[in-house]
Amino acid sequence: MNYKRFYLYVLGLSVLFIPSGLMAVQAVKQKPLTIQEQGSFAVGGTVIKNDGTFDPRKPANPAGQSFHGDHAYVFYQKPVNARKLPIMFLHGAGQFSKTYETTPDGREGFQNIFLRRGFSVYMVDQPRRGNAGRSTIAANLTPTPDEQMWFSQFRVGVWPDYFPGVQFSKDKETLNQYFRQMTPNTGPFDVGVISDALAALFDKAGPGILVTHSQGGGPGWYTGMKSDKVRAIVAYEPGSNFTFPEGEVPAPIPNTFAKLSGVAVPLAEFKKLTQIPIIIYYGDNIPDKPSDIPAQDYWRACLEMANNWANLVNKYGGDVTVVHLPNAGFKGNTHFPFSDLNNVEIADHLSVWLKKKKLD
């Protein structure tokens, strides 16, 4: 009995033992989820109000009318006998809560995996994205073909080639689902607006664990500084907006994709991130040395920035762990470890850490 089979066995799952490559197309009968409560709500945001008086006979006249926007949208599920701390999931750039739902090849994502492990889950669409589309700032949306860029940027491979051994199913429908799990910004990306809405979510839902992905990493650090109800942060491949104390921001890290700078915050704010355990994960196929492929080179710079940041937080008494997955025995992970073919093992690694930090 190998590790994976044993793991499924101890969870009491009824599964067909089939080659993992066939998992996507085979019916895998799992135990039912028992949900004590589920629902959705908007949280945070602001209101625009026009002067004047609304005239119900002239409903198209905006005088005296209001506009609620910039909230997050959240769908939550609480399993029966839930663990004390829920997990709040924030997506990355171009993505929405789907990131953590069914994987592109049709398996369970972290939403179901952590529900099965007894955690309440809060799936967030950040302000101005997906179901939280009502933005107080205008936007022009243009359908610009860009998916070969994302295929490379998300380190599935360098289009049209998949990385050897990549943890990503090569069937056509997987790629179709993967591209369709993107959705545009309906207003400017704004770290402040997003972290305000997330802090409001923690106020409403109570203390919890924040999981972020990619561009969501920045709003995650800010949420950790804004809310004392963030009890831990788990960041998958954070990119821009690492926060450093004023006067200690490192030089930008050169790379062939985009400028990567730290962001200055007051030392007192920065120190709040020393009060909670933090774990940061990066996947495979990140080059050691500068590369002329921008999609790879950027993540080299981010990993370096993450290590710099972790060292400084830890110097101030913090508890940050950076896991470069290939060094921990996980090969072939993309920018989305939580939905990769080995996502159960990736979840296991997190479960061990949560237990170690007494967060479960």
| H or E stretch at 300 | helix 294-315
In the complex, least distance from residue 148 CB atom to a copy of itself, rounded to whole angstroms = 4
Q: How do strand 208-213 and strand 161-162 relate by DSSP bridges?
A: unpaired
Contacts of 313-316 with C-beta under 8 Å, sequence gap 24+, read 313/270, 313/273, 313/274, 313/278, 316/270, 316/271, 316/274
- Choose which of 24, 131, 319, 348 interacts with a copy of itself (CB under 8 A): 131
Region binding a copy of itself by CB under 8 A among candidate stretches 48-56, 216-224, 266-274, 325-333: 48-56
Contact call for residues 7 and 348 (beta carbons, < 8 A): yes
Based on its alpha-carbon atoms, the radius of gyration of the chain, rounded to whole angstroms, reads: 21
Shortest distance, position 235 Cβ to a copy of itself, whole Å: 23
Name the segment binding a copy of itself (CB under 8 A); options: 51-59, 225-233, 261-269, 318-326: 51-59
Which of 15, 23, 24, 65 touches a copy of itself by CB under 8 A? Answer: 65
Q: What is the DSSP letter of 261?
A: -
Only one of the segments 13-21, 289-297, 303-311, 350-358 lies at the binding site for a copy of itself (rule: CB under 8 A); that segment is 289-297
Q: How far is the CB of 25 from a copy of itself (least distance, A)?
A: 13
Site membership for a copy of itself, residue 137 (CB under 8 A): yes
Contacts of residue 286, Cβ cutoff 8 Å, sequence gap at least 6: 155, 296, 299, 300, 303, 324
Say whether 199 sits in a helix, a strand or coil. Answer: helix
Q: What angle do CA 33, 34, 40 make, to 5 degrees?
A: 90
Judged by CB under 8 A, does residue 146 bind a copy of itself?
Answer: yes
When asked if residue 214 is in the footprint of a copy of itself (CB under 8 A), the reply is no
User: How far are the Cα atoms of 121, 130, 231, 272 from residue 359, in angstroms, in the given order?
Assistant: 14, 30, 8, 18
Pick the closest to residue 88 from 118, 111, 117, 113 (CA basis). Answer: 111
Instruction: Give min distance, CB of 91 to a copy of itself, in A.
Output: 11
Q: Is 268 in the site for a copy of itself (CB under 8 A)?
A: no
- Residue 273: both structure tokens together: 């991130």
Tell me if 149 contacts a copy of itself by CB under 8 A.
Answer: yes
The whole-angstrom separation of Cα 19 and Cα 26 is: 10
Only segment of 7-15, 43-51, 247-255, 262-270 that touches a copy of itself (CB under 8 A): 43-51
| Closer of 150 and 244 to a copy of itself (Cβ) | 150
Residues 230-259 binding a copy of itself (CB under 8 A) are 257
Contact between 185 and 209 (Cβ < 8 Å): no
By CB under 8 A, the residues from 296 to 355 that bind a copy of itself are: none
Residue 126 within binding range of a copy of itself, rule CB under 8 A: no
Which one of the spans 157-165, 208-216, 272-280, 341-349 is the region binding a copy of itself (CB under 8 A)? 157-165
Torsion of CA 231, 236, 238, 239, to 10 degrees: -160
For residues 66-125, which are near a copy of itself according to CB under 8 A? 66-69, 71, 73, 75, 80, 96-98, 101-102, 106, 108, 112, 125
Peptide bond into 207 cis (omega under 30): no
State the nearest-atom distance from the C-beta of 85 to a copy of itself, in Å: 20
Site string for a copy of itself, 18-37 (x = CB under 8 A): ------------x-xxxxxx
Q: By rule CB under 8 A, what string of x and - marks binding of each residue 171-210 to a copy of itself?
A: -----xx-xxxxxx-xx-----------------------
User: Which has the closest alpha carbon to 61: 73, 52, 69?
Assistant: 52
Q: Compute the least distance from the CB of residue 157 to a copy of itself, in Å.
A: 10
Which residue's CB is nearer to a copy of itself, number 41 or number 162? 41
